[in-house]
Chains A and B, each alone.
Chain A
Amino acid sequence: MATRTEVLGAPLARTGPLERVRSRPAILLGGSVVALFVVLILGVALGSVAVAPADTVAILAHRLLGLDLGATWTPAAETIVMDLRLPRVLAAMVVGLGLAVAGVTFQGILRNPLADPYVLGTASGAALGAAIAVLIPIRIALLGFGLVQVLAFVGALLAVTVVYRFSRTGTLAPLTSLLLTGYAVGSLLAAGLAMTMYLSGTNLRQIFYYLLGGFEGTSWSQVLLTAPIILLATIAILARARSLNGFLLGEETAAHLGVDVRRERAILLGLASLITAAAVSISGLIGFVGLVVPHVVRLVVGPNARWVLPLSAIIGASLLAAADLVARLAGGIPVGVVTAIIGAPFFLVLLRRARTGYEL
């Protein structure tokens, strides 16, 4: 056995700090909630015009909680905090949370460690929707939502629906069929996107900007419309953590363990797709958060979805808000670039591990 262990890499640590965290994931959850608040304060305080963290806390406490902390601040600082930075930070958090939760769900249901929230065509559906919206000369704005956001949301959901319907051939929709259908539909939509971009002329930059992803100019109404969708769907997924656990050993075993496979798969995929669609509608395409965060969390606490889901949610929220902060401080580079620069090397390491550790 020893030789086998050596060949396959080090066994999970049995002692040491990692082990202690693994046996008490509540500590990790507490720690990540603290990190989330730190990122929130920093994200609102830092920027081209810095607002002192103490003032930031005071403004937030005053405006959100009605508390008077005895500090004074300028009206300009209040405008920056409340109207410009807070919605942006909250949007990044909600999107990061959503993408991480959707990632856990897609990876769990599809039993594929390389699945991400975009695996079933959401990304290409949203991209095509957004690109078409850019080309349509009508400008509507409803509660802060332009045609781009609306068509991205609709495109994402349509793409997933088409993929799911097409993949359902036999009695049990096989996962391979789902993945391959996702790939095929994704390719078709990507061709549509390429064609749209080719025809877009001067609007190319606007489409390109959407594809890179970001939170520039996110409004309160966008946050307030998408946050409930993402948070409610997240709670609904959390309530089904037991089913998600059942899928660990495959659909047939899930059924034997007590999971109504067809129903739970449809509900969980539907909720995760809804989250993804809501997230991409306000942020564009942001990669790697939904892929990487669930893996990091699983490495620490193991596969139990009851812990992986809430931890991924909190860490995903902190991470994307932090990435957006870095993007802003670096002079407004797209946040998708930041997550890719952090995420891609991590992903490469993961792939190296995949040769030995993962069985696909």
Chain B
Amino acid sequence: MSAVDTPVVELVGVDAAYRERVVLSGIDLSIAPGERVAIVGPNGAGKSSLLRVVTGTLRPSAGRVTLDGDPVERLDRMAIARRLAVVPQAGALPFAARVEEVVGLGRLAHEDPFRGHRPADRAAIAAAIERVGVGGLLGRDARELSLGERQLVLLAMAVAQAAPVLVLDEPTVHLDLRHQVETMDLLVDLNRRDGTTIVAVLHDLGLAAHFFPRLVLMAHGRIVADGAPDNVLVDDRIREVFGVDPAFVRRSGGQTGVSAIDGVPASR
């Protein structure tokens, strides 16, 4: 990180809790523009809570969170949406909605409040559909799609939001192997070509280590390691944090071996 760049996302001494249950304690995290950061850790480590604090949907009980140097609690939702796009988990849709209509929701913070999409919005929607490769799904009711397809549509929606920071919570969870790798490649491409900062919670340590130059490892609401994959995913730490034999982690992914995606040219 260069010293002159204001971090796009910065957390200093952040604690957070749902009522009595503490989910984050003493989080310090600084993400520079153009970084690609994967947040990893076991279930209940506080990864999603960390994202919710970053996106302003969970208010910290202590510490401060800034986006581009501005305290997140002083930004309204529209301002946050223009700085930070979040890929939601595939959920239920109450009404029929076409794929392009769902992707179009990504323009909410940009469109005319009364007349809706303008040409620039339509261009951004078309570009996002092209980029994520969901053109084949146009005209389909999003409720008829498989969970994996829906996940890609929601990714396209967040891409259409055209924010400098893209936040993802388990973006590959419903995807088959090919789509997992394609999604990762897309994130790398968005990062390299557009300079989009990527912050993703990932369960798959193999994907994380392969596609992300920086890993943040969390456990019990704290950050226990932060750095290059090889420095974060060391044997003792894996044994301690995940409670499994590191050899197993390595076999299914892990620091250097990425057996799960063998045969795929490394994009790193």
Q: Give the complex CA separation of A245 and B157 in angstroms.
A: 14
Given A11-B141, A14-B139, does the pair A257, B109 have CB atoms closer than 8 Å?
A: yes
Given A4-B144, A242-B111, does the pair A257, B96 have CB atoms closer than 8 Å?
A: no
Q: Does B49 contact A (CB under 8 A)?
A: no
Looking at A5, A246, A256, A303, which has the most chain B CB atoms within 10 Å of its CB? A256
Q: Does A298 contact B (CB under 8 A)?
A: yes
Partner of A298, one of B77, B95, B111: B95
Nearest to A172 among chain B residues (CB) is B57
Q: Give the complex CA separation of A303 and B77 in angstroms.
A: 22
Q: Give the complex CA separation of A259 and B107 in angstroms.
A: 12
Other contacts beyond A246-B105, A257-B106, A359-B94: 20, CB < 8 A: A1-B146, A12-B96, A12-B98, A12-B140, A111-B94, A112-B94, A171-B59, A242-B111, A249-B91, A249-B102, A250-B88, A250-B91, A253-B86, A253-B91, A255-B77, A256-B55, A256-B81, A257-B108, A302-B96, A306-B116
Looking at B86, B105, B115, which has the most chain A CB atoms within 10 Å of its CB? B105
Q: Report which B residues bind A (CB closer than 8 A).
A: 55-57, 59, 76-78, 80-82, 84-86, 88, 91-98, 101-102, 105-106, 108-109, 111, 113-116, 139-141, 143-144, 146, 154, 161
Question: Can you list 5 A-B contacts (CB < 8 A)?
Answer: A1-B146, A8-B143, A239-B114, A242-B113, A248-B97
Q: Which residues of B contact A360 (CB under 8 A)?
A: 92, 94
Q: Which residues of A contact B105 (CB under 8 A)?
A: 245-246, 248-249, 257
Q: Which residues of B contact A253 (CB under 8 A)?
A: 86, 88, 91
Contact A248 B93 (CB under 8 A): yes
Nearest to B91 among chain A residues (CB) is A250
Q: Which residues of B contact A1 (CB under 8 A)?
A: 146
Q: Does A312 contact B (CB under 8 A)?
A: no
Q: Give the complex CA separation of A11 and B114 in angstroms.
A: 30
Nearest to B88 among chain A residues (CB) is A253
Partner of B92, one of A255, A258, A359: A359
Q: Give the complex CA separation of A260 and B80 in angstroms.
A: 11
Q: Does A31 contact B (CB under 8 A)?
A: no
Q: Which residues of B contact A144 (CB under 8 A)?
A: none
Q: Does A68 contact B (CB under 8 A)?
A: no
Contact A4 B101 (CB under 8 A): no
Q: Does A206 contact B (CB under 8 A)?
A: no
Contact A257 B161 (CB under 8 A): yes
Distance in angstroms from B54 CB to nearest chain A CB is 11
Q: Does A299 contact B (CB under 8 A)?
A: yes
Contact A113 B144 (CB under 8 A): no
Q: Give the complex CA separation of A339 and B29 in angstroms.
A: 60
Q: Which residues of B contact A346 (CB under 8 A)?
A: none
Q: Give the complex CA separation of A4 and B149 in angstroms.
A: 13
Contact B86 A256 (CB under 8 A): yes
Contact A299 B96 (CB under 8 A): yes
Distance in angstroms from A74 CB to nearest chain B CB is 47
The count of A-to-B residue pairs whose CB atoms sit within 8 angstroms is: 108
Q: Give the complex CA separation of A113 and B92 in angstroms.
A: 12
Q: Which residues of A contact B78 (CB under 8 A)?
A: 258
Q: Give the complex CA separation of A261 and B92 in angstroms.
A: 18
Distance in angstroms from A170 CB to nearest chain B CB is 8
Partner of B88, one of A8, A111, A252, A260: A252
Contact B97 A302 (CB under 8 A): yes
Contact B108 A259 (CB under 8 A): yes
Nearest to B78 among chain A residues (CB) is A258
> Which A1-57 residues sit within 8 Å CB-CB of chain B?
1, 4-5, 8, 11-12, 14
Q: Which residues of B contact A256 (CB under 8 A)?
A: 55, 57, 80-81, 84-86, 88
Q: Does A357 contact B (CB under 8 A)?
A: yes
Distance in angstroms from B146 CB to nearest chain A CB is 7
Contact A257 B93 (CB under 8 A): no
Distance in angstroms from B41 CB to nearest chain A CB is 21
Interface string of A70-114 (1 = CB under 8 A from B): 000000000000000000000000000000000000010001110
Q: Give the complex CA separation of A245 and B57 in angstroms.
A: 19
Contact B114 A4 (CB under 8 A): no
Contact A249 B88 (CB under 8 A): yes
Contact B81 A258 (CB under 8 A): yes
Partner of A303, one of B82, B97, B108, B161: B97
Q: Does A176 contact B (CB under 8 A)?
A: no
Q: Which residues of B contact A171 (CB under 8 A)?
A: 59
Q: Which residues of A contact B106 (CB under 8 A)?
A: 257
Partner of A12, one of B80, B85, B92, B139: B139
Nearest to B90 among chain A residues (CB) is A249
> Which A333-360 residues sit within 8 Å CB-CB of chain B?
357-360
Q: Give the complex CA separation of A282 and B129 in angstroms.
A: 49
Contact A107 B94 (CB under 8 A): yes
Contact A258 B80 (CB under 8 A): yes
Contact B140 A358 (CB under 8 A): no
Q: Give the complex CA separation of A11 and B99 in angstroms.
A: 12
Q: Give the complex CA separation of A358 and B154 in angstroms.
A: 19
Q: Which residues of A contact B140 (CB under 8 A)?
A: 11-12
Q: Give the complex CA separation of A129 and B125 in angstroms.
A: 50
